[in-house]
Amino acid sequence: PITTEFAPDGTGALLSPQFVTAGLTYSRALTDRISIGATLNIISETLDRVTAQGLGFDFGVQYRGLADIDGLSIAIALKNLGSGMQFSGSGLLRDAQPGGVDRGSSPLQVVAATDELPSFIVLGASYSMSLGETSSLELVSTFQDNNFEDDNVRFGAEYNYDDLFFVRGGYSLTPDAPTDGEIYGITLGAGFHHDFSQIGITVDYAYRNVDFFDASNIFSISLGF
């Protein structure tokens, strides 16, 4: 619900925030075991009548075949490095009455502070096992060191059928968070991948349970060249 200084209990209207990220990724294998990748993200946020845009940069390294164990990998990623984001728009206009002047009010533009992107480092390990000629199961665990909030640990699994259909599940845990600060829990998802000529198209859906709010539904489309 929307609240204002004149309607602290709510105006009866509801907010519908929007968050959109478009990314361009480049990756390559340096050796048969080491791969690197980088992503440039264009970020846009809209909240009622204000918007903010920014650029973010991600970088990661993966090492496969750890300890000569086939299917065991480790990785490190540094994410959300980039410019700060500053909201602007008509939602920051206020009526102001100049002091000492006998005239009507004039619109005043409130300048919002610039916020840094929530950068973080992720350390991860995964193990992939074959379930037959066309199926595999991957188990994943990550530790995320956050810049502005409590660190968390995540566990997940992905079932892969013929590199075509994917089913995923996971759980997020924040050990240092207060009781009411642990708002995330189970995640579920599914995906589809298909190669059209020389372009690979991946469509993913994820469901994320959130306490105190409606659950998050996340859709993504990726193109690979």
Going by their DSSP bridges, the two strands 216-224 and 184-196 should be labelled as: unpaired
Q: Nearest to residue 156, comparing CAs of 147, 175, 165, 143?
A: 143
pLDDT of residue 135: 96
Poorest-pLDDT segment among 27-36, 114-123, 178-187: 178-187
Looking at residues 122-145, what average pLDDT do you find? 95
Q: How many CB atoms lie within 10 A of CB 89?
A: 15
Is the confidence at residue 146, as pLDDT, over 70?
Answer: yes
Lowest mean pLDDT among 107-111, 181-185, 200-204, 209-213: 181-185
pLDDT score recorded for residue 49: 86
Task: Name the residue with higher pLDDT: 13 or 66.
Answer: 66
pLDDT greater than 90 at residue 41:
yes
The pLDDT of residue 212 is above 90: no
Share of the chain above pLDDT 90, in %: 56
The residue assigned the tokens 């075991």 is 33
Residue 72 has what pLDDT? Answer: 96
Q: What mean pLDDT is predicted for residues 21-30?
A: 93
User: Mean pLDDT across the stretch 5-19?
Assistant: 81
Which H, E and C letters describe 143-178, residue by residue?
EEEECCCCCEEEEEEEEEECCCEEEEEEEEECCCCC
State pLDDT tens for residues 93-118. Answer: 887 776 666 666 778 888 899 999 99
pLDDT on residue 181: 61
Between residues 103 and 146, the one the model is more confident about: 146
Closest CA to 219 of 195, 194, 190: 190
Quote the mean pLDDT of the chain: 89
Per DSSP bridges, beta strands 106-109 and 120-130 are unpaired
- The percent of residues above 70 in pLDDT, for the chain, comes to 94
pLDDT digits (tens, 9 = 90+) for 150-191: 899 999 999 999 999 999 999 988 887 776 666 777 899 999
